[in-house]
Every structure is written in structure tokens, then in C-alpha cells.
Amino acid sequence: MAPRRLTMMTMTIMMMMMMMMDNICIRAQDISRGSFPKGFVFGTASSAFQYEGAVKEGGRGPTIWDTFSHTFGKITDFSNADVAVDQYHRYEEDVQLMKNMGMDAYRFSISWARIFPNGVGQINEAGINHYNKLIDALLAKGIEPYVTLYHWDLPQALHDRYLGWLNPQIINDFAAYAEVCFQRFGDRVKHWITFNEPQTFSIHGYAIGLQAPGRCSILFKLTCRSGNSSTEPYIVGHNVILSHATVSDIYRKKYKAKQGGSLGLAFNVAWFEPESNKTEDIEAAQRAQDFQLGWFLDPLMFGDYPSSMRSRVGSRLPVFTGSQSVLVKGSLDFVGINHYTTYYARNNATNLMGTVLDGAFSDSGTVTQPFKGVTPIGDRANSLWLYIVPRGMRSVMNYVKHRYGNPQVFITENGMDDPNNILIPREEALKDGKRIRYHHDYLSNLQAAIKEDGCNVKGYFAWSLLDNWEWASGYSSRFGLYFVDYRDNLKRYPKDSVHWFTSFLNSTS
């Protein structure tokens, strides 16, 4: 089935069908590796800035997140990622942990500033050597590398020189960096992800200023030195889309035939359930999805932004030229989905959000929240934003299938966090039954989406292998299957979820 745009009537019907599906509870059932199609890939995921540490070793240059994390008041626990969980030095140990579990693949990111310390110019061979060693170590253990080219850590030099993603010059510089990665690693890397969650860093970095580089002009402007929340997120998003499409074109023309790889992008996708069966709330849920997933995936599938964005953002939304639209459309080989949670959505009838938080944060005209009245949509993890709603996984998969023509999908992130509570003994912290239930129930819904609904899903990556430095939350949040003891030389200890995954991955029926 070819991807197609859907009329509002069709979308309304689809949303109502999704509401019906959301009421279907996938009951706890025994699942195993054998429950999934042959060749289905299981792995864990990470990012360079959250894992590597060694920020001043091996010729690495500074990034916008180094600057942001060293700015007072930006990180909840006042920490930074100078050491993170030290995977730069401990990658062999961590690769063995994946092998012991029976994982098929590892999704990690390359730090642009390790390859080009200044973003451009002379290649840093020490950085090339590090990633060569990591890739070779993975392959030696039978673990397939899935490589993300950009996971938020822009070289600081490019932001200083021309404001990074706000300048179209970034398209050429990102393409040059990506091509070096194809040249040096593409003989062994067969799955490339250009960007991780562009909607997240466009909004949080340039609309509300809560992530690097910390630009905004709205309510939070007291914490932002500069920015324009109404225009900058859309400029950033536009340059990201054109960067992806340019890199995809280069890969297909120069490397794909010889290297045989594929190239996609990882999108953040919460599911939005209409708060009621009112048409206005059903339409609001669709707009919420347009301004989240559609913002980036619609151009890559259809050649332009969603009509709701065009009408609501107006002249603030950049325009693709005819040649750009041709370049962008169809530039994905697969769709990466980072899915964690589900919210209710309702029409913003009072425009309160627009009054308080003008700009891209409120342009969709929706209110999304995890409560209906005072009743939460599900049990909460540690993070304030993460509510556990397993049925959302099946709904997201069906939405992608119907709206975009059932493209090849990888779940590039899924997981939940516990608090980093120093008062809880390590032995107790290893007992993470809640995480086991989370993965079991989300995987059950994913399996149903594949087998019962025909969704074209090829793999699943748990976030994350290790507890790690969690952006603005610092070390206060533990997403790992392995416990990292931050008070004892970063030793790794298997949580109960490691034993669950090991049993799951070694079972066939």
C-alpha cells in the first residue's frame, strides 16, 4: 500500500478506531523470542554523550551539551557527563554484558566532536580509531551495530560560528561528517540513523530552553539569554530534515550499492488518546500527533509538512522548494520509533497554553496530559513525564501503518526509569519487577501489532543497557537493565530485568 495523505474525515474515523483499540487490554501472557518473526532483532540503545565520558580525551572537542551541563542550574542534580558511565574505556566489558544476555544488536551514537573536534576541518584519527574498535568488538561477539550519527551533541564550535542548526550551513557540514562515517565505518555498519528525536531537541533546545543550547523567548526566558520560541524550532527542524535528505541522497548515490546498508531516522512518538469522543478532542489528538511525528515524518514520506501545521503556523513555518521536496520525499529506508508513554489530548478551547507559552510549544492548539480529571492514565515511572500505558505501543504501530503505508519500523527506544535513591540498598535496587512488567507488557502489545495487525516491525531496542546520565535529570534517573554504582568505580550489576531478558531471548516457545 502506498503512503498517502488522509482526509480529516478519514483521520477522524481512524482516531475513533484507535480509541476502540485503546480499550482493548492485551492481557499478560507468556511471550518469548519465538513469539516474534524469524530474524526479528533485539538490542539495547545508548548515546555517546550519556555513556562515553572522556570528554577531553582522544582529541574530542567540546559540544553544546558540555557547555549546557556546566551551566549552573541547568541540571537537576548539578552533575555533568564528563565521566558519564565511562563506556569510552569500558566498551569491551559492556559488549560482553550484551553478549551474555543474548542481544542481537547495539544502537549507539557517534560523537561528531570526536570525528571533527571543531565540527569541520581535519579528521581526528583517534576518534575514528575508537569507533573502529567498538564496532569490531561488537561484531566479534556477533552483535550488529546500529549507528546514530547525531544524538544531540552538536560541536560547540559550530554553534559559536553560526548558531548551528539555525543556519543552513549546517546541512553541508553535517553531510561532510556523515560521509566520513560512511567511508570509515560503512564496510561494517549496515544500519544508519541520521538523527535521534529531532522534535525533542527542536522544542526543548529552541522553544523552551530546557535542553542544549538553551534558547527561548517564552515563559522560561529568564533562563534563556537569547532565542525566538515562535520561529527558531521550525528553522531548526527544517534544516534537520534537509540535512537528513542530503545525507540520504549521498549514501544512496555513493555507498549503498557497495555497502548494502539502510538509513533511517529515530522519532519520539508518544501516543495521544482523545480525552473524550467529542470531534474537537479527536481532532486535537490528531493535531498533537501532527506537531510531534508528522512535523518530521510527513515531509520524508509526502514531501511537505502536515496541513494542520501549515494552517496554524503560517509564515513562521519554512517552505520547501520544489527540488527540496523531491529530495526529502522518500529519503527513509526505515522508520525508528522511540516510544515510552501515552497521554490524553483535548482541544485547547481557552488558548491558555498559548497565552502562557506562546510559540512552537503551543501552536498545535491542544492540551496533552497524563490525567483525566484526577485519574492518571497509568502507573508512573520515576520521570514526571513517563506513565506506563502498554496499549499505546500497539496504537502507535497501527497509526504508522495506516498513515504512512506500513513502512519498515524499528522500535529504537523503549523503557522506564527508577529513581536514583541513595537510601535504597543496592540489593533492593536490583529488584526491578516494575521494569520487567513494563517490557513484558509493551512487548506483548508490539507482538500483537505484528502478528494480529500486520504491522511491519523488524526490531526492538530497550533503553537502556546501563543506568546513565539522563540529560537535564543528570544521574537522578535510572533507565538501565544494569545498575551502575556511581559510588563504587561505576561497577555494573545485573538487575532482575537482565535475568528476565536473558531468559526471554533464549526461549523459543
Grouping H, G, I as helix, E, B as strand and the rest as coil, residue 136 is: helix
Domain hosting residue 49, numbered range: 31-506
Confidence (pLDDT) at 14: 54
Angle between helices 87-101 and 496-505 (to 10 degrees): 50
Model pLDDT, residue 2: 43
pLDDT, residue 316, reads: 97
User: Which residues lie below 8 Å from residue 27, measured CB to CB, with a gap of 6+?
Assistant: none
Domain annotation covers residue 20: no
Residue 15 is assigned to a structural domain of this protein: no
Given a contact cutoff of 8 angstroms between Cβ atoms, the answer to whether 271 and 264 are in contact is no
**Which residues does 16 contact at the CB level (< 8 Å), separation at least 6?**
277, 282
Could you give the CA distance from residue 266 to residue 152 in angstroms, rounded to a whole number? 12
Check: CB of residue 112 under 8 Å from CB of residue 154.
yes
Residue 358: predicted pLDDT: 61
pTM of the model: 0.94
What are the b/e assignments for 67-95, b being 16+ CB within 10 Å? bbbeeeebbeeebbbebbbbbbebbeebb
pLDDT at 13: 42
Q: Nearest 5 degrees, angle CA 20-CA 21-CA 25?
A: 115
What pLDDT sits at residue 509? Answer: 63
pLDDT of residue 221: 62
Specify if 12 maps to a domain: no
Whether 330 is in a domain gets the answer yes
Evaluate whether residue 430 is within a structural domain.
yes
Residue-level pLDDT at 19: 47
In a domain, 280, yes or no: yes
Does some domain include residue 23?
no
pLDDT given for residue 21 in this prediction: 47
Handedness of CA 325, 331, 335, 339 (dihedral sign): negative
Per-residue pLDDT of the chain (509 residues; tens, 9 = 90+): 344 444 544 454 454 445 444 444 444 358 999 999 999 999 999 999 999 999 999 999 999 999 999 999 999 999 999 999 999 999 999 999 999 999 999 999 999 999 999 999 999 999 999 999 999 999 999 999 999 999 999 999 999 999 999 999 999 999 999 999 999 999 999 999 999 999 999 999 999 999 999 999 976 567 798 999 999 999 999 999 999 999 999 999 999 999 999 999 999 999 999 999 999 999 999 999 999 999 999 999 999 999 999 999 999 999 999 999 999 999 999 999 999 999 999 999 875 544 445 679 899 999 999 999 999 999 999 999 999 999 999 999 999 999 999 999 999 999 999 999 999 999 999 999 999 999 999 999 999 999 999 999 999 999 999 999 999 999 999 999 999 999 999 999 999 999 999 999 998 76
| pLDDT reported for residue 18 | 52
Instruction: Give domain status of residue 101, yes or no.
Output: yes
Q: What is the pLDDT of residue 218?
A: 77
C-alpha to C-alpha distance for 85 and 48, rounded to whole angstroms: 10
Residues known to be catalytic = 197, 413
- Check which CATH number belongs to the domain holding 455 and give it: 3.20.20.80
* pLDDT attached to residue 359: 79
pLDDT at 354: 46
User: To which H or E segment does residue 265 belong?
Assistant: strand 262-268
Cell numbers for 495: 538487575
Instruction: State how many domains the chain has.
Output: 1
